[in-house]
Amino acid sequence: MNFKNFIMEHKQAFLVIFVAILLSPLFAIAADVVGYSEPLEKSAEHLGAEENPIYGGILPDYSVPGIDSPAGTFLAGLVGSAVTLIIMLGITMAIKGRNN
């Protein structure tokens, strides 16, 4: 598979993904303003359950350590989408195998 052809053939999909990543810092800021809290967190709070983080990740909480929040969120989104694309392409090709 030629990389340039791949992008050209699916440029609309790449554009949609890029726009979502571009918007993600705005959503992160807006969620911060209203106090983002998922139902699971409500349930945990209600019953007094506490997290016990044993691993923070390479880019913790969709941010890049040392880069301020909106730019960090954007970069984390870019890296995450690229990694997901590559891994899923790899897995699908591996399952597909050579013979079918």
Tell me if 9 contacts other proteins by CB under 8 A: yes
CA distance 69 to 63: 7
Determine the Cα–Cα distance for residues 76 and 65; give it in Å rounded to an integer.
10
Cα separation, 58 vs 79, whole angstroms = 11
**Per CB under 8 A, does 66 bind other proteins?**
no
Answer for which of 4, 33, 68, 98 binds other proteins (CB under 8 A) is: 33
| 18 CA to centre of own chain | 12
Which spans of this chain sit near other proteins (rule: CB under 8 A)? 1, 6, 9-10, 13-14, 16-17, 20-21, 23-24, 27-28, 30-31, 33-40, 42-44, 46-62, 73, 76-77, 79-89, 91-93, 95-97, 100
